[in-house]
Amino acid sequence: MNAALLSEGTGRVQVTLSAQFIGDDLVVLLFNERGHIGAVAMADYSHAERRASTSVLTRLGHREDSVACNAAYKLCKQLRRPVCAVAGIHLDGITGEEIAEISSNCDTLVERLGRQLSAGSS
């Protein structure tokens, strides 16, 4: 797999995941129809320590840091390779319920991509 494009949810809470390999490294974008760069997370895997470590940069006033961090960390730990995740999800007048649903949709997309990539490498 060189690239993937997945979507989860409908209407206002629909989220899209785009993934692309750059060499052995993975870049993942999580966004909606008003996507932007809200937060960027980079995760690296230490084979010696068998653990992943993640760093996050977040734009002022944005709250996508947990989405980007979770995506980068989970995929890095599962795939044992560097992962950069960029998240940018904007929704005017968002409710707490919509935030929860968008977060769940992002988790589902990351899990789907992880399964797809793990199946392709076996």
Element (H, E) at 21: strand 15-22
Q: How many separate domains does the chain show?
A: 1
**Whether residue 120 has pLDDT greater than 90:** no
Element (H, E) at 120: helix 96-121
Q: Residue 75 is part of which domain span?
A: 3-97
Strands (DSSP E) contained in 32-112 are 39-46, 51-58, 83-88
Report if residue 109 sits inside a domain: no
Q: From the centroid of its chain, how far is CA 105? A: 11
- pLDDT for 7-62, tens place per residue? 999 999 999 999 999 999 999 999 999 999 999 999 999 999 999 999 999 999 99
pTM of the model: 0.94
Task: Report how many helices (DSSP H) and strands (DSSP E) the chain contains, helices first.
Answer: 2, 6
**Whether residue 122 has pLDDT greater than 60:** no
Report if residue 114 sits inside a domain: no
- CATH assignment of the domain containing 73: 3.30.230.100
Band of pLDDT at residue 121, cut at 50, 70 and 90: low
Q: Report pLDDT for 33.
A: 95
